[in-house]
């Protein structure tokens, strides 16, 4: 009996040594996985649709209450000079996903069919997305919300690196099936509330339509609940959650508990529900003790849709809005939050959603693709230290046309679109120059006073055009001199 017990003890001791050598802990998780979990933070990107630079309390709005985002900004970093790569939905989202200007990845809207005839209406499959990059480094990946990078099966999120998808495949005003004209109704009555049956937008889970038309009254609420479930289900391992909200893109919808709450009207109700959504997600992270392990970024895909008047947002002191390459169209409210890691404060450095690719790759321990040109810079030195942003220049593209450039405080326009009706483009007889730090509203053209700056910026635009993949129709764009 004693010899049997000794033999059993020796076998048990041998197994302990074996598991220790293999690096396993008592709960069955390898030590390398545990170390990996500590080293790799969760990443959440909350991306609004048509939210203006001036729509949040922490960015100066006097009537829309955003206590959760205000707290997020005070605990994290508020970036006041942060840009998207295009002033409209699809190309902006494609740039965020790939770290490449839309002219490189093909998602340039009107010119896409000419430049990339084989793209078939979605983000080309050979593009490398944030989800694919993070999945390669061991992340669970999920998207909850609006995709708008292709609605056919081969272009849906589950074909672009995401493990799961819950949301609508494109903008919430598409598939309109009757009803009054939204713009006309808003002008007649600012309290106008649309009917969901006038928008035959599908709600999808992975590749299947589960509701049509989607009940847009509850979209923000359901996106929030789905996001919280994703966080809870993946709390034990690193995850990437992309939450591109459908709001406050028109038609505006809010759940019943938020209607009539804001003095700003329905638009304010919608933004305040988005703020509550952010609060619920951050509270979940705190409750699960994931707040110190999670980077959360909040931003918008472009500026406010001004033609919808009170149903559109505000760019604050910035000129114009959605669809234009003025600051109001492409500078967006942005907050980075990671308690204990990010140094709180307000940053005036230049940054862009293009930079998510390089920044997330750096903090996740991944590798950037080397077989393509990227337009992404690693912002981690600003987020976690006292370094300056490596981004010094921003190019303003729209519809496969290069409209403007910013370098340092200077911004040079060579083409423009009107502030409200962004479908009208104007050729400039000669370039217009603005000093954005002294003239945030782009009111005072100083091109005649600083010809050297004009010449330098025109040269940079020429060099950028030569750096773009050589599509003949794009390279033929004339730049006035």
User: Contact 355/81 with Cβ under 8 angstroms?
Assistant: no
Q: How far apart are CA 400 and CA 474, in angstroms?
A: 7
Tokens 């010119």, residue located: 111
Tokens at 106, concatenated? 């093909």
Q: How far apart are CA 142 and CA 232, in angstroms?
A: 13
Type and span of the H or E element at 77: strand 77-79
3-state secondary structure of 469: coil
User: Contact 422/324 with Cβ under 8 angstroms?
Assistant: yes
Type and span of the H or E element at 114: helix 112-115
User: Contact 153/134 with Cβ under 8 angstroms?
Assistant: no
* Residue 243, strand partner residues: 46
Give the sign of the dihedral formed by CA 92, CA 96, CA 101, CA 102.
negative
DSSP code for 339: T
Type and span of the H or E element at 7: helix 2-22
Phi, psi at residue 142, to the nearest 5°?
Answer: -145, 145
User: Contact 144/118 with Cβ under 8 angstroms?
Assistant: no
3-state secondary structure of 120: coil
User: Would you call 347 exposed, middle or buried from its count of C-beta atoms within 10 A (0-12, 13-18, 19+)?
Assistant: buried
User: Contact 451/445 with Cβ under 8 angstroms?
Assistant: no
| Catalytic residue (one of 17, 48, 58, 148) | 148
Torsion angle in degrees (nearest 10) through CA of 120, 122, 125, 130:
170
Active site residue 148: yes
**Of 265, 249, 366, the residue nearest 308 (C-alpha):** 249
Q: How far apart are CA 95 and CA 101, in angstroms?
A: 5
Type and span of the H or E element at 360: helix 356-364
Tokens at 179, concatenated? 């009803």
Q: Determine the length of the chain.
A: 481
What b/e string do you get for 402-414 counting C-beta neighbours within 10 Å, with b at 16 or more? bbbbbbeebbbbb
| Catalytic residue (one of 89, 234, 249, 413) | 89
Q: Which residues have a catalytic role annotated?
A: 89, 148
């Amino acid at each position: 009996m004693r010899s049997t017990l000794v033999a059993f003890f020796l076998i048990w001791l041998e197994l302990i040594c074996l598991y220790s050598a293999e690096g396993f802990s008592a709960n069955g998780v390898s030590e390398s996985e545990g170390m990996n979990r500590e080293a790799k933070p969760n990443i959440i990107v909350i991306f609004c649709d048509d939210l203006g630079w001036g729509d949040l309390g922490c960015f100066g709005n006097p009537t829309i209450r955003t206590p959760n985002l205000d707290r997020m900004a005070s605990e994290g970093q508020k970036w006041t000079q942060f840009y998207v790569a295009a002033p409209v939905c699809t190309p902006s989202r494609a740039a965020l996903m790939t770290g490449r200007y839309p002219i490189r990845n093909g998602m340039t809207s009107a010119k896409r069919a000419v430049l990339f005839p084989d793209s078939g209406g979605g983000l080309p499959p050979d593009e490398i997305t944030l989800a694919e990059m993070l999945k390669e480094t061991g992340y669970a990946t999920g998207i909850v919300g609006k995709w708008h990078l292709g609605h056919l099966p081969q272009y849906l999120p589950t074909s672009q690196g995401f493990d799961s998808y819950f949301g609508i495949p494109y903008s919430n005003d598409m598939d309109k099936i009757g009803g009054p004209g939204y713009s006309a109704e808003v002008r007649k009555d600012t309290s106008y509330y649309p009917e969901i049956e006038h928008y035959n937008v599908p709600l999808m889970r992975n590749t299947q339509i589960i509701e049509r038309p989607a009940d847009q009254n509850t979209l923000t609420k359901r996106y929030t609940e789905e996001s919280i479930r994703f966080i809870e289900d993946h709390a034990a391992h690193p995850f990437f959650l992309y939450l591109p909200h459908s709001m406050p893109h028109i038609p505006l919808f809010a759940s019943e508990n938020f209607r009539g709450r804001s003095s700003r009207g329905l638009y304010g109700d919608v933004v305040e529900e988005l703020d509550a959504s952010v609060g619920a997600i951050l509270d979940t992270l705190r409750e699960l003790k994931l707040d110190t392990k999670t980077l959360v970024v909040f931003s918008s895909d472009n500026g406010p849709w001004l033609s919808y008047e009170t149903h559109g947002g505000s760019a604050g002191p910035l000129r114009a809005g959605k669809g234009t390459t003025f600051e109001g169209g492409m500078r967006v409210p942005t907050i980075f939050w990671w308690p204990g890691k990010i140094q709180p404060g307000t940053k005036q450095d230049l940054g862009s959603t293009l930079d998510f690719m390089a920044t997330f790759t750096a903090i996740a321990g991944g590798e950037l693709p080397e077989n393509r040109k990227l337009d992404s810079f690693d912002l981690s030195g600003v987020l976690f230290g006292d370094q300056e942003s490596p981004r010094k220049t921003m190019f303003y593209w729209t519809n496969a046309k290069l409209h403007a450039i910013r370098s340092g405080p200077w911004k040079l326009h060579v083409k423009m679109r009107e502030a409200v009706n962004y479908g009208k483009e104007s050729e400039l007889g000669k370039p217009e120059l603005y000093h954005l730090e002294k003239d945030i509203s782009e009111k005072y053209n100083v091109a005649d006073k600083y010809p050297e700056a004009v010449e330098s910026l025109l040269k940079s635009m020429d060099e950028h055009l030569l750096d773009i993949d050589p599509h003949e129709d794009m390279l033929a764009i004339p730049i006035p001199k």
